[in-house]
């Protein structure tokens, strides 16, 4: 069975939805102290902080990514799911885990990439936005799309209210996509033996 690591940085609500979906998680890694680490420990999941203490422009993204990749490989991780992970990673992780890193994003990619996707959709007066699950690549929010679901934008929506409705969709769509992805990895492994 493919061993999954989940990368987190925040409250852990996406991590909780993955756990509630019955997906076995081998490791949770965060780039900072956060509630998600506590969620992992409360669910008897191995958790580790790979601290990012430098948020300046001089941050060594490649060195950080190599350290994270080393930890994932040491723990025999087969696939990675980003769940609100706040650090953009360098090429080493994408080389070691090519096509095996999933991410979820609060827009209908390719529209509105980056950290302000919900605000960007509101500012553009869109009628619909949504959630996308995609393969993470070194290009931020540019990887192949695995699943998407639409979310209507209401006239009285704020960034907060819209983002919360997107998160509700995300907490269902992402675990479904992860399950299918892990099943596919397992099938490929069996066929390769």
**Residue 130: helix, strand or coil by DSSP?**
strand
Residue of 105, 116, 134, 163 with catalytic role: 105
**CA dist., res. 156 & res. 162, Å (int):** 10
- Residue 9, C-beta contacts closer than 8 angstroms, at least 6 positions apart: 30, 31, 32, 34, 36, 84, 85, 86, 87
Phi and psi at 110, nearest 5°, equal -85, 5
Cα Rg of the chain, angstroms: 16
Phi and psi at 158, nearest 5°, equal -105, 170
178-181-185 Cα angle (round to 5) = 135
Q: Tokens in use for 44? A: 């008897």
105 is catalytic: yes
Q: How long, in residues, is the chain?
A: 193
Alpha helices in the chain (DSSP H): 13-20, 35-42, 61-74, 91-96, 117-123, 159-192
Residue positions annotated with a catalytic role: 105
């Amino acid at each position: 069975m493919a061993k999954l690591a989940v990368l987190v940085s925040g409250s852990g609500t996406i991590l909780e939805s993955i756990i509630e979906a019955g997906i076995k998680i081998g490791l949770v890694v965060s780039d900072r102290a956060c509630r998600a680490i506590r969620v992992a420990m409360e669910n008897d999941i191995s958790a580790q902080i790979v601290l990012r203490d430098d948020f300046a422009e001089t941050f060594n993204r490649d060195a950080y990514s190599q350290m994270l990749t080393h930890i994932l490989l040491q723990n025999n991780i087969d696939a990675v799911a980003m769940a609100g992970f706040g650090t953009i990673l360098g090429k080493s992780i994408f080389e070691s885990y090519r096509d095996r890193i999933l991410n979820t994003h609060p827009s209908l990619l390719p529209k509105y990439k980056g950290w302000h996707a919900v605000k960007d959709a509101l500012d553009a007066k869109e009628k619909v936005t949504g959630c996308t699950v995609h393969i993470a690549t070194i290009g931020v929010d540019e990887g192949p799309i695995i699943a998407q679901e639409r979310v209507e934008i209401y006239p009285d929506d704020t960034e907060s209210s819209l983002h919360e409705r997107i998160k509700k969709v995300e907490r269902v769509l992402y675990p479904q996509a992860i399950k299918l992805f892990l099943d596919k990895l397992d099938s490929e492994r069996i066929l390769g033996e």
